[in-house]
Amino acid sequence: MLALKFVDAHVHLSDEQYSSCVEEVVAEARKAGVVALVSNSTNLKTGINSLSLAERYPGLVYAALGIHPWNVQTLDEGELQKMVNLIKQQRLNRALVAVGEIGLDSKYKQIMEQQTMVFDRMLRLAEQMDLPVIIHSRGTTSLIMDMLPSYKLRRVLLHWFSNPISALNEATERSYYVSEGPASVYSEGLREVIREVPLEKLLTETDGPVRYFKAPFMGRRTTPAYIPRVVNAIAEVKKLEPARVSEQITENFETFFGIRLN
């Protein structure tokens, strides 16, 4: 029997919380059967680090470069331009597979104008560079769904999609992808999303080092080694065998990011 393959489409491997244990995290991932992961950046520093990690672990770690909406409040034009330049410079680097994590966050309404400016800049760049985008949409999904048709984007991933469900049909009609993580093991809201999303448009993620998951993950370090549990949760919801889910999600990963896994 062939071992199942797993993928983590959204993890922050370049986050400082992983800096002292990245080798251990990667080893855990490999042992769990994870064959590829995308290290999402949140600013210039983590973007550079994600590229370094992709070079350090070729064929396993890939990089997404972008400015997270949380960092817009401390962003200056110089850093934004450096990120734009970095993405342009690295366009032919096979390790660069997406622009991300980018988006809008309702928690920071006081800087929504600045968030929107940076998001637009990143989307225009993704359009120009013909790269997929990985989008953060906490409390802003409807607004983002209204914005996206203005751009010619190759592929769109709505990371950790939770609501509104009313936007989900529209997203799938546009062939957007959705990724879900450890919370799908216990969250009925996310399991409802999983029921509605075609398996062919679904990806798995952990969003590590996020640590606010409930049992059975509570108090533990979040790593890509969680992905098999996520796949099992999806299989349970979809009433499919885990092997079928694993195979399709790995294929989705290859299609979305434009890479071929070994």
Q: What is the pLDDT of residue 76?
A: 84
Single pTM value for the model: 0.96
For the chain, count helices (H), then strands (E): 9, 8
For the segment 3-29, what is each residue's pLDDT rounded down to a tens digit?
899 999 999 999 999 999 999 999 999
CA distance 62 to 83: 17
- What is the phi/psi pair of residue 5, to 5°? -110, 145
Contact 206, 8 (CB under 8 A): yes
Residue 3: predicted pLDDT: 87
Domains delineated in the chain: 6-257 (3.20.20.140)
pLDDT in tens, 204-235: 999 999 877 888 888 889 999 999 999 999 99
Query: What does the pLDDT read at residue 49?
Result: 98
Nearest to 54 by CA among 42, 65, 43: 65
Residues (pLDDT < 50) of the chain are none
